[in-house]
Amino acid sequence: MKDPDQLYETLSELLDEYKNKFIIRFLPVDPQVGPDEYELDIKAYCLMSHAAFEEYYEQIALIVMKISIDYWLLHRISSDSAIMLISRYGLSYDLPEEDEVQETKVYDHIRLMLEKAKSRFSTDVYNSHGASPKHLRSLLIPVGIDFLPDPISSNSMIQLAKQRGTYAHHGFARSVLSPEDAVKYVEDCLKFAKEISNKVKHKAQGGAIKYLGTVKKEKGQVMMPDTFQEVEDGRVFEAIEIGGDILLLAGPLEKERLVRIEELAKESIKKHRATLEVLAR
């Protein structure tokens, strides 16, 4: 799964590609060139651009969903994203009435609700078709991302969606956008997409690897880096080894959580090493 920066970069590149392919030759607009000459290109530009935004926001929503669920499973720390997901579908848990039953941990009650929310939200994302404000609201708010476009961004989303809807469902537009207006609407929407990318990166930092410094073992004592001073005294950690890498994790650990930690840690370490290799070149 790509990170928010990669998704935004791909989106930006696609929109540039569509602009160069369909629009650039009509800019600046020549008064001698009428709508009949650029109508089909405007159609293609609006349809392709709208589809690119739709794919971008769907992937963004799925990224935040995965982060919020994994962060609970890994750290047992809740987030507004996880809370919004569960609330979106009105999920709850059942308690048995009998005395002698196999008891369920609170962790598992929450895990099961998150799994149901994940399944239902993934289906909703799959069935979502559009990038207008009403569509983006249903993609972003359920995973705890504020959807607060300014009036310009909101209007541009609406206008682009109208063009897409008219072309896609009727085969013609009631009025043809000028090349300048089409480009402006797309650029406004791209600016807002960047704002959303930044919000997602901020959320993702909660579950990302953060380098704290060098840990040394001297005379039987483990010497922690200065950045570790932020951790309160008396907090207990458990040490585990995964593929030769030693990790300190907040205790207590349980079997289900340990298995999930191992899966996530291997994935994170792999990505972290790849980043260091790039920086070292």
- Indicate if the pLDDT at residue 133 is higher than 90: yes
Higher-confidence position of 136 and 238? 136
Higher-confidence position of 232 and 272? 232
What pLDDT was estimated at residue 236?
76
pLDDT level of residue 272 (50, 70, 90 thresholds): low
Q: What is the largest CA-CA distance in the chain?
A: 85
Higher-confidence position of 260 and 85? 85
Express as a percent the part of the chain with pLDDT over 70.
78
| Alpha helix positions (H), the chain | 4-18, 35-75, 80-88, 106-127, 133-140, 151-170, 179-204, 255-280
Q: Which of 58, 31, 55, 41 is nearest to 163 (CA)?
A: 41
d(CA 198, CA 165): 29
Q: Which of 53, 210, 208, 79 is nearest to 139 (CA)?
A: 53
Higher-confidence position of 26 and 240? 26
pLDDT level of residue 207 (50, 70, 90 thresholds): very low
What sign for the dihedral angle of Cα 113, 115, 118, 120? negative
Q: What's the average model confidence in pLDDT over 3-10?
A: 89
Task: Please give the structure tokens belonging to residue 51.
Answer: 């589809």
d(CA 91, CA 121): 12
87 Cβ partners below 8 Å, 6+ apart? Answer: none
pTM for this prediction: 0.71
Q: In angstroms, what CA-CA distances link 208 with 33, 232, 258? A: 52, 21, 18
Q: What's the average model confidence in pLDDT over 197-226?
A: 71
- Indicate if the pLDDT at residue 258 is higher than 70: no
What pLDDT was estimated at residue 107?
87
- Indicate if the pLDDT at residue 208 is higher than 50: no
Q: Which of 4, 145, 144 is nearest to 78 (CA)?
A: 144
The predicted-structure confidence for 151-177, as pLDDT tens digits, reads as follows 999 999 999 998 866 555 454 445 788
Q: What's the average model confidence in pLDDT over 38-52?
A: 93
- Indicate if the pLDDT at residue 253 is higher than 70: no
Which residue is it, tokens 């009509």? 26
Higher-confidence position of 94 and 238? 94
31: three-class secondary structure by DSSP:
coil
Angle value at C-alpha 81, between 76 and 83, nearest 5 degrees: 70
pLDDT level of residue 220 (50, 70, 90 thresholds): confident
Return the axis-axis angle of helices 4-18 and 179-204, rounded to nearest 10°. 170
d(CA 57, CA 70): 20
Q: Which of 178, 185, 180 is nearest to 35 (CA)?
A: 178
d(CA 12, CA 49): 10
pLDDT level of residue 57 (50, 70, 90 thresholds): very high
29 Cβ partners below 8 Å, 6+ apart? Answer: 178, 179, 180
The predicted-structure confidence for 69-122, as pLDDT tens digits, reads as follows 888 887 777 788 999 999 999 999 988 889 888 898 888 899 999 999 999 999
Please list the residues that pair with 240 across neighbouring strands: 247
Q: What's the average model confidence in pLDDT over 112-138?
A: 94
What pLDDT was estimated at residue 50?
95
What pLDDT was estimated at residue 260?
67
What pLDDT was estimated at residue 204?
64
Average pLDDT, whole number, for the chain? Answer: 83
